[in-house]
Each structure stands twice: as structure tokens, then as C-alpha cells.
Amino acid sequence: MNIIRFIVIFIIIWLLIRMVKNYRNREKITTSQRNSNNIDTMVQCSRCELHLPKQQATKRGERYYCCKQHADED
């Protein structure tokens, strides 16, 4: 009876360790996904060399500009 009890306790501990590991892995994946979504790609204005987030930049062909005025001037 003692051996059976020992095996049952061992299995319970093993399952708990597995659950904790799975939980930590899931948390890591979600935080890294959140980080990659939040990071804005920085681009440089081809005219005044100002750095700005890609979302705010004006794109002309393959080049980025800080404002519409610079895009028209270059």
C-alpha cells in the first residue's frame, strides 16, 4: 500500500510541474506577440532625415517622408 501511495503522490507532483511549465510557456508566447505588435517600425524622411513611425510617414514609391510637403519637394 505504501508503494501505491508513493506512486500516486509522484504522479500528482509530476502533473503539477507540467501544468506550471505549460502555463509559463503560454504566458511567454502571448507577451512576445503583444510586444511585436506594439513596436512601430521607424523610417527615415528622404528629405530632412527625420525618423518617424512608419504609420505616420508619407510614402512615395519606395521612399518615406515626414510630411506631404517634403514628399512633394523631393
Residues at the site binding Zn ion, with contacts judged by CB under 5 A: 45, 47-48, 50, 66, 70
Spatial distance between the Cα atoms of 11 and 26, rounded to a whole number of angstroms: 23
The residue whose grid cell reads 508619407 is 58
- Cα torsion 33, 35, 38, 41 to 10°: value is -100
Task: State the nearest-atom distance from the C-beta of 31 to Zn ion, in Å.
Answer: 35
- Please identify, using beta-carbon distances, which residue of 4 and 62 lies nearer to Zn ion: 62
- Please identify, using beta-carbon distances, which residue of 27 and 72 lies nearer to Zn ion: 72
Task: State the nearest-atom distance from the C-beta of 73 to Zn ion, in Å.
Answer: 9
Strand partners, 63: 60
- Please identify, using beta-carbon distances, which residue of 43 and 70 lies nearer to Zn ion: 70
